Amino acid sequence: MMKGMVRLTRLAAFALIALLAGAGCKHPRPAPPAIVEVRVLDRTPAQARIGFQTAPVAAAAARAIGQASGIAITDGGVPPGRTPGPRYKLVVEVRTEDSEDPTGHGTMRAMVSERLDPVDAPIGTDGFEESALGEHNYDKKTRGDAKAAWQAHVVRTATDVARGLGAQVRLASGPVPAILAALLSTDDTLREEAMRLAGERKLSLAVPTLIKLLKSDDHEVRDRAIGALSAIGDRRAVRPLTEVARFRDLGDLPKILDALSSIGGEEARSYLAFVASGHDSPEIRDLAKQALVHLDARDHRDLSVR
State pLDDT tens for residues 201-222.
899 999 999 999 999 989 899 9
Distance from the Cα of residue 131 to its chain's centroid: 11
User: Quick one: average pLDDT of 30-51?
Assistant: 86
Quick one: how many helices (H) and strands (E) in the chain? 11, 6
**Which residue segments constitute the domains of the chain, with CATH numbers given?**
5-174 (3.30.160), 177-305 (1.25.10.10)
In angstroms, the CA 1 to CA 296 distance is 48
12-31 pLDDT, tens digit per residue, is 333 343 333 333 334 444 55
pTM summary value: 0.68
Per-residue pLDDT at 64: 94
Give the pLDDT of residue 305: 52
pLDDT of residue 6: 45
Angle at 184 between CA 180 and CA 186, to 5 degrees: 140
Give residue 170's pLDDT: 85
Q: Residues 176-200: what's their mean pLDDT?
A: 90
Q: Residue 110 belongs to what H/E stretch?
A: strand 105-119
Length of the chain: 306
- Mind listing the pLDDT tens digit for each residue in 44-91? 999 999 889 999 999 999 999 999 988 888 865 444 555 566 788 999
- State the pLDDT confidence band at 278, using cuts at 50, 70 and 90: confident
Q: Give the span between the Cα atoms of 157 and 137, in whole angstroms.
A: 14
Q: Quick one: which H or E segment has residue 270?
A: helix 266-278
For residue 10, list its beta bridge partners. Answer: 130
Mean pLDDT value of segment 40-45: 96
Q: What is the pLDDT of residue 136?
A: 95
pLDDT (average), residues 262-272? 93
Residue 135 has pLDDT above 90, yes or no: yes
Q: How far apart are CA 189 and CA 8, in angstroms?
A: 10
CA–chain centroid gap for 260, Å, is 25
User: How many Å apart are CA 197 and CA 20, to the nearest integer?
Assistant: 14
Of residues 305 and 163, more confidence is placed in: 163
- Containing 189, the helix (H) or strand (E) segment is helix 188-200
Band the pLDDT of 9: cuts 50, 70, 90.
Answer: very low
- Report the b/e string of 8-32 with b at 16+ CB within 10 A: eebebebbbeebeeeeeeeeeebee
Q: DSSP readout, 22-37? A: TTTSSSPPPPPPEEEE
Nearby residues of 47 by Cβ (< 8 Å), 6 or more positions away: none
Neighbours of 168 (CB within 10 A): 28
